[in-house]
Amino acid sequence: MESKKEIVIVSAVRTPFSKFDTAMADIASIDLGVMVMKEVIERVGVRPEEVDDISYGSCVPAEVALELDVPARQASLLAGFPAENISLSLDRACCSSLTCVRLGVWAIKAGEAQIVMAAGAENMPRTPHLAPGLRKGQRLGHIRLVDPLFELGYTAKGFNPVAKDAGEVALEYGVDRQMQDAWALGSQEKYAKARQEGKFKIGEELMPVVIPQKKGDPVVIEEDESPRKTSMEALSKLKPVYGSPTVTAGNAPTMGAGASAILMMPADMAQKRGIKPLASIVTVVASATVPREIATIPAFTIQKALDRAGLTIDDMDLIEINEAFAAMPLVSTKILAKGDEKKWKELQNKTNVNGGAIAIGHPVGASAARITMTMAYELRRRGGGYGVAAICGGLAQGEAIIIKV
Ligand SMILES: CC(C)(COP(=O)(O)OP(=O)(O)OC[C@H]1O[C@@H](n2cnc3c(N)ncnc32)[C@H](O)[C@@H]1OP(=O)(O)O)[C@@H](O)C(=O)NCCC(=O)NCCS
């Protein structure tokens, strides 16, 4: 039977998210993971040996493979967690770091753990090209190189690029290119305003990435790198990518590097330790549907979470829907509005209020924890409330969390 124990997020932090061609692109995702894993416990005075369980998500295995493919174990040892610590590396595509939160919640509810960490890290620009077949030797002729980043590999086994499915389904829902570009512009503008207002600052959601240099001062990265000034005119000129009818470089996030971590424990333990929780976890659920419907899965996962919690979308003060593309928040809020145009607008107005992945970036394994903490910090700034965050992952998987601050 499910334990009714209240579980809280006591600490949440991420690195800035990088652009494609910057200093962070050379740092192994595991090392980015190490940074956030250390920081997330230090902020609340938890010692490494007190963490019972670490789940760690990453979903570009070719980059992880440069170091060996047990990133959770490597990162936890490198971050100073004891050899006895139990960890799990997992890949549920872009959902991964929220899947880690879900597993952590289960572990506490099952009585298997008290203090749990959910982490996610990715370095997409560092992904190497693959040379399949080379191990057998190349007697004669050209070597074939495969880019696992191109179309994120989905076409290799006959699936569509995500951008194609998302763009086509968006049009079927009446969400056209212009609406997607307008959402993208809004994402950039909301993020710029939020940053100007001092949100996304070091010590809250963000921690700096310090990169030592052979000579001279280290490079210090303290801000997300991909936000940009744009306009409807500039966005409308961009050509669609990956065979999508609507998705362009402007209404999609960049591929970058970054890591996030969330620390959870039972509420009574936080109280005993004198830690003021960031948020209480109401529920966290997963779902999936047919691959083509990826733009819709945040909506259905949110509905599942609401049903589980006995709440409605109107109870939510804030919504985060990851901007895998602009199509996702638009289609998903439309589904949640159940055909009511006014309500659709209202839901859009409380979704990604400080901008989303189109501005911030989307280092895939780190993003689900990122949307969760972005929402938690914003709810705290507003003095509390309920929020739901949802993300889609490759081939139409979904993950959603409801929190209360
Ligand atoms: C969309 C994508 C292919 C673009 O890659 P890219 O071509 O390397 O991107 P760039 O940043 O160079 O942008 C391409 C062009 O668009 C322009 N551009 C990008 N965003 C813009 C904006 N907001 N406004 C105006 N122009 C913009 C760039 O200036 C560039 O112009 P140029 O060719 O004249 O230099 C890549 O970022 C991508 O695949 N993103 C999606 C990642 C993804 O699938 N995530 C997971 C989802 S499940």
Domain count across the chain: 1
Domain extent at residue 354? 158-198+281-404
Residue 164 forms part of a structural domain:
yes
Atom of ligand 1 nearest to the CA of 162: 48
Give the C-alpha distances (Å, rounded to integers) separating 142 from 137, 139, 238. 12, 10, 34
Question: Which residues approach ligand 1 with their CB closer than 6 A?
Answer: 94, 152, 162, 228, 230, 234-235, 238, 241, 249-250, 252-255, 324, 362, 364
pLDDT digits (tens, 9 = 90+) for 321-364: 999 999 999 999 999 999 899 999 999 999 999 999 999 999 99
Mean pLDDT of 271-298: 98
Task: Using pLDDT thresholds of 50, 70 and 90, give the confidence band for residue 17.
Answer: very high
Taking the C-alpha atoms of residue 165 and residue 374, their distance in angstroms, rounded to an integer, is: 27
CA-closest residue to ligand 1 atom 22: 250
Ligand 1 atom closest to residue 19's alpha carbon, by position in its atom list: 11
Ligand 1 centroid to Cα of residue 237, in Å, is 12
On whether residue 9 sits in a domain, the answer given is no
Which ligand 1 atom sits closest to the C-alpha of 152? 44
> Which residues form the catalytic set?
94, 362, 392
Query: What number does the ligand 1 atom closest to the CA of 362 have?
Result: 45
| C-alpha 123 – ligand 1 centre gap (Å) | 17
Q: What angle do CA 346, 351, 355 make, to 5 degrees?
A: 135
pLDDT digits (tens, 9 = 90+) for 83-107: 999 999 999 999 999 999 999 999 9
What pLDDT, on the 0 to 100 scale, is given for residue 68?
84
Asked whether residue 117 is domain-assigned, the answer is no
Q: How far apart are CA 263 and CA 14, in angstroms?
A: 12
Q: Considering the domain boundaries, does residue 80 fall inside one? A: no
Q: How far is the centre of ligand 1, averaged over its atoms, from the C-alpha of 8 (Å)?
A: 37
Looking at 267-354, which runs of residues are DSSP E strands? 279-288, 318-321
Within-domain flag for 371: yes
Specify the amino acid at residue 351. Answer: T
In a domain, 22, yes or no: no
Residue 1 has pLDDT above 50, yes or no: no
Structure tokens at 230: 């744009």
The domain that holds 346 is classified in CATH as: 3.40.47.10
Nearest-angstrom CA–CA distance, 91 and 57: 6
What pLDDT is recorded for position 267? Answer: 98
Looking at 127-218, list the stretches that DSSP marks H as alpha helix, in order from N- to C-terminal side: 162-172, 177-196
Residue 16 covered by a domain: no
Tell me if 360 sits within 8 A of 227, measured CB to CB: yes
CA 112 to chain centre: 26
What pLDDT, in 10s, does the model give residues 385-404? 999 999 999 999 999 999 99
Distance (angstroms) between ligand 1 centre and the Cα of 252 equals: 7
Q: Is 310 within the bounds of a domain?
A: yes
Residue nearest to atom 21 of ligand 1 (CA): 250
